[in-house]
């Protein structure tokens, strides 16, 4: 995170339910325009794509100068 967002700390929350686990990662770094199609191959393939393959989901909320929040859900 430090490399791309200029972040030295992030908050990570994890909670489990009977059928899935949700992990939320929040930082207050530089953020980015998450609506841009070219938001990054790593985001589309490594994060979103792999979670979909596992039956899960990934959502990102970010804007330039506003930091980033990821919500990752994976079935058990």
User: Which tens digit of pLDDT belongs to each residue from 26-71?
Assistant: 998 888 887 776 555 666 677 888 899 999 999 988 888 888 999 9
Long-range contacts from 3-10, C-beta under 8 angstroms, 24+ separation? 4/29, 4/30, 5/29, 5/30, 5/31, 5/67, 5/68, 6/30, 7/67
pLDDT the model gives residue 47:
84
pLDDT the model gives residue 73:
96
- Domain of 42? 2-75
For 36, the 3-state DSSP assignment is: coil
Cut 0.85: pTM above it: no
Question: Domain tally for the chain?
Answer: 1
pLDDT the model gives residue 2:
47
CATH number of the domain where residue 43 is located: 3.30.565.10
């Amino acid at each position: 995170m430090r490399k791309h967002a200029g972040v030295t700390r992030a908050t990570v929350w994890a909670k489990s339910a009977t059928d899935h686990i949700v992990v939320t990662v929040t930082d207050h770094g530089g953020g980015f325009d998450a609506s841009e199609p070219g938001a990054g191959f790593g985001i589309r393939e490594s994060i979103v794509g792999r979670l979909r393959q596992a039956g899960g989901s990934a959502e990102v909320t970010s804007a330039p100068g506003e930091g980033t929040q990821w919500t990752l859900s994976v079935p058990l």
